[in-house]
Amino acid sequence: MQLSTRHLLGIKDLTAQDIQLILDTAAQFKEVLQRPIKKVPSLRDVTIVNLFYENSTRTRISFELAEKRLSADTINFTASGSSAAKGETLLDTVNNILSMKVDLVVMRHSASGAPHFLAKHIPAAIVNAGDGINEHPTQALLDAFSIREKLGTLQGKKIAILGDIMHSRVALSNIYLLKKMGAEVTVAGPPTLIPKYLQQAFGVNVSYNIEETLKWCDVANVLRIQLERQNQPLFSSLREYNLAYGINRKLLDSLNKEIVIMHPGPINRGVELDSDVADSKQSIILQQVENGVAVRMAALYLLAGKRSEN
Amino acid sequence: MTILIRQAHIIDPLSPFHKSTQDVFIDNGRISKIGTLANQEADQVIEANNLHLSPGWVDVFAHFCDPGFEFKETLETGIAAAAAGGFTEVLLLPNTNPVVTGKSQVEYMVQKAKHSMVSVHPLGAVTKQTEGKELAEMYDMKAAGAAAFTDGLHPVQSAGLLLKALQYVKAFDGTIIQIPDDKTIGTYGLMNEGIISTRLGLPGKPILAEEIQVARDIKLARYAESKLHFTGITSPKSIDYINRAKQSGAAISCSVTPAHLYFTDEDLQTYDTNLKLYPPVRTAVERNALREAVLNGGVDCITTHHEPHEYDSKICEFEYAKPGMIGLETCYGVMGAVFGDALSAERWVELASSNPRKLMQLSQPVIKEGEVANVTLFEPLATYVFTEDAIRSKSKNSAFVGKELKGKVIGIINNNQLKLN
Q: Check CB contact of A280 with chain B, cutoff 8 Å.
A: no
> In whole angstroms, what separates CA B325 from the centre of its chain?
12
Average the pLDDT over B278-296 and give the result: 98
Distances (CA, A) of B35 to A179, B40, B45, B346: 70, 11, 15, 21
Contact: A113, B320; criterion CB under 8 Å: no
User: Considering only CA atoms, which of B62, B132, B119, B46 is closest in space to residue B96?
Assistant: B62
Q: Which residues of A touch B201 (CB under 8 A)?
A: 112-113, 131-135, 169, 172
Q: Which residue among B187, B194, B320 places its CB closest to the CB of A197?
A: B194
Q: CATH classification of A7-136+290-307, choosing from 3.40.50.1370, 3.40.1360.10, 1.10.3720.10, 3.10.20.80? A: 3.40.50.1370
Res A82: pLDDT = 47
* Residues 6+ away with beta carbon under 8 Å from A260: A147, A150, A151, A218, A219, A220, A282, A283, A284
Q: Which residue among A112, A198, A232 places its CB closest to the CB of B200?
A: A112
Q: Which residue among A111, A169, A195 places its CB closest to the CB of B318?
A: A111
In tens, the pLDDT along A160-182 reads 999 999 999 999 999 999 999 99
Ranges of chain A with pLDDT below 50: 81-82, 84, 310
**Residues above pLDDT 90, as percent of chain B:** 100
Q: Indicate the burial class of B286 (C-beta count within 10 angstroms; 0-12, 13-18, 19 or more).
A: buried
In tens, the pLDDT along B76-122 reads 999 999 999 999 999 999 999 999 999 999 999 999 999 999 999 99
Contact: B194, A198; criterion CB under 8 Å: no
Q: Check CB contact of A269 with chain B, cutoff 8 Å.
A: no
Contact: B187, A134; criterion CB under 8 Å: no
The β-bridge relationship of strands A184-188 and A158-162 is: parallel
Q: Which residues of B touch A116 (CB under 8 A)?
A: 270-271
In tens, the pLDDT along A43-57 reads 999 999 999 998 888
Mean pLDDT score of chain B: 97
Give the whole-angstrom CA distance, residue B30 versus residue B26: 5
Are A18 and A306 in contact, with CB atoms under 8 Å apart? no
Res A46: pLDDT = 95
In tens, the pLDDT along B169-190 reads 999 999 999 999 999 999 999 9
Domains of chain B: 2-52+371-420 (2.30.40.10), 57-360 (3.20.20.140)
pTM: 0.94
Res A233: pLDDT = 76
Res A229: pLDDT = 66
User: Considering only CA atoms, which of B189, A175, A226 is closest in space to residue A235?
Assistant: A226
- At the second CATH level, the architecture of A137-284 is 3-Layer(aba) Sandwich (3.40)
Check if A7-136+290-307 and A137-284 are the same fold: yes
Contact: A111, B197; criterion CB under 8 Å: no
Distances (CA, A) of B380 to B47, B54, B231, B300: 15, 12, 25, 20
Average the pLDDT over B128-155 and give the result: 97
**Residues above pLDDT 70, as percent of chain B:** 100
* Residues 6+ away with beta carbon under 8 Å from A116: A9, A131, B270, B271
Domain boundaries defined on chain A? 7-136+290-307, 137-284
